[in-house]
Amino acid sequence: MHPTCIIKPPTNTTAAPSSTSTSSSDDGAADVTSRLKAELKASMKAAKKARVTVIKSLLSDLTYASKQAPPVEPELVIQRALKRRMDSIESYTQSGHLDLVQSEQAEVAIIQEFLPKQLGQDELEAIVRSVAQKLAAKSPKDMGPVMKQVILELPSGSATRKDISDTVKRVLSSL
């Protein structure tokens, strides 16, 4: 090899993929992803294996969701992960696997750290009542439009769809 033919390795190879993956997503996804990555790093340094596993799972879910055609909000992705764990807890409880229940409950506690503050039942009911009043909803038959408007008015990830649905049903039934 000739001494003047030195091949230099490309510089900054790790920064390019991460910057392109976050530039295609919105600021909310970037914030959640960066927070998860920081927590992952801290958890790895502290050798918290269970926490590392859960955070890697959430990062994987967010990466997969970012590649879907209609963009999915990160809070919704995290809520789905939480729902999967809650469903697992229910099935493990029914089958008597208490060791697995404890493991899933620990994962639920970790996942809840990354969700926005959840609205209380009273706060959610007040929002549903105001939307029902705006739309002049009078019976459970008006559930569709009320649900749609409530979901639009709520901060993303502040309540699960099931909680919203149950509250709308209860409020519309009482009208």
**What are the tens digits of pLDDT across the range 8-43?**
444 444 433 333 333 344 566 678 889 999 999 999
* Category of 47 on φ-ψ map: left (φ > 0), alpha (ψ -120 to 50) or beta: left
Predicted TM-score (pTM) of this structure: 0.69
Dig out the tokens for 129 from the structure: 């009542």
Nearest to 50 by CA among 89, 103, 101: 103
Q: How far apart are CA 76 and CA 28, in angstroms?
A: 11
Residue type, 140: P
Identify the residue whose tokens are 């009542």. 129
Query: Structure tokens of 163?
Result: 């909680």
